[in-house]
Amino acid sequence: MATLEIKNLHVSVNTDDGPQEILKGVDLTVRSGEVHAIMGPNGSGKSTLAYSIAGHPKYDVTEGEVLLDGEDILQLSVDERARAGLFLAMQYPVEVPGVSVANFLRTAKTAVDGEAPKLRTWIKDVNAALERMTLDPTFAQRNVNEGFSGGEKKRHEIAQLELLNPKFAVLDETDSGLDIDALRVVSDGVNRFSGQGDRGVLLITHYTRILQYISPDFVHVFVAGRLAETGGRELADQLEAEGYDKYTRAGV
């Protein structure tokens, strides 16, 4: 069994007024086979948590640990984290000018596996992954995220997730900007990934809508840089009905 452990994580960013602490002691363990949803209001630090796990240089870990199967990943480069089995899908995916989806996916797969995938099976795998995401095969020739619609970006991310098949996936607002059909396609992809049984998912979201399609084992309420409450999926229903008011008034 694999584990992703976040222990007392404190993270700061540099602002014009000096360093500002965004994460104020996050504790969370995700085990393989589990889907965790993190829900919280805008500005609470959810993306900061995702970027910090990913190793984004803007985010300065001042205290705490992130362990993947007991190994401290905060010492690892972004690439090394991917090789160790982490996958991060970002709320605002970047454009990669001049790099086609096909080349991008092949480079990512080669980096994660340490060797290039066999060409013939790889092309088949890519086409199948795109088709499952209802993306046309010609999509592979487009430049990464260049002129992609919101839905295409998210579907591309999930195709990437399925092809790389990491141990743990951190998905930041994978549901944002999706119409109902795209939401279903993307959710199906996440469910196929987690349905393998030995994978872990940390699903970060602002809305409960995606949880109609992806059933989390745990729901965490994230407010003002830390977890305010943990429960089962009934907690998502409660948030849907009551919002974050009770937590934001109690906090800060």
| Binding footprint of ligand ADP on the chain (CB under 6 A) | 13, 15, 22, 40, 42-48, 58
Structure tokens at 195: 């349905």
CA–CA gap between residue 165 and residue 60 (Å, rounded): 28
Q: How do strand 86-89 and strand 168-172 relate by DSSP bridges?
A: parallel
Task: Tell me how far CA of residue 5 lies from CA of 43, 69, 159, 235, in angstroms.
Answer: 23, 8, 26, 22
Q: Which does 58 bind (CB under 5 to 8 A by kind): ligand ADP, Mg ion, none?
A: ligand ADP
CB of 59 to ligand ADP, least distance (A): 7
Minimum CB separation from ligand ADP for residue 33, in Å? 26
Taking the least distance from each CB to ligand ADP, the nearer of 32 and 47 is 47
Edge-first strand listing for the sheet containing 168-172 = 86-89, 168-172, 200-205, 35-39, 218-223, 226-231
Residue 25 contact, options Mg ion, ligand ADP, none, Cβ 5-8 Å cut-off depending on partner type:
Mg ion
Give which of 52, 38, 36 is closest to 205, Cα–Cα.
38
| Choice between 112 and 219, CB closer to Mg ion | 219
Q: Which residues contact 198 (CB under 8 A, 6 or more apart)?
A: 1, 2, 32, 33, 167
Q: Does 25 bind Mg ion (CB under 5 A)?
A: yes
Amino acid identity for residue 130 in this structure: L
User: Which is nearer to Mg ion, 3 or 176 (by Cβ)?
Assistant: 176
43 binds, among ligand ADP, Mg ion, none (CB under 5 to 8 A by kind): ligand ADP
Q: How far is the CB of 225 from Mg ion (least distance, A)?
A: 10
Residue 195 near residue 189, CB atoms below 8 Å: no
By C-beta, is 105 or 204 nearer to ligand ADP?
204
> Of these, 44, 47, 145, 174, which contacts Mg ion (CB under 5 A)?
47
How is residue 170 written in tokens? 């951190």
13 binds, among Mg ion, ligand ADP, none (CB under 5 to 8 A by kind): ligand ADP
CA-based torsion, 119, 124, 125, 129: positive or negative: positive
Binding partner selected for residue 221 from ligand ADP, Mg ion, none, CB under the kind-specific 5 to 8 Å limit: none
Site for Mg ion in 69-128 (CB under 5 A): 91
Least distance CB 126 / ligand ADP (angstroms): 31
Interaction partner, residue 199 (ligand ADP, Mg ion, none; CB < 5-8 Å by kind): none
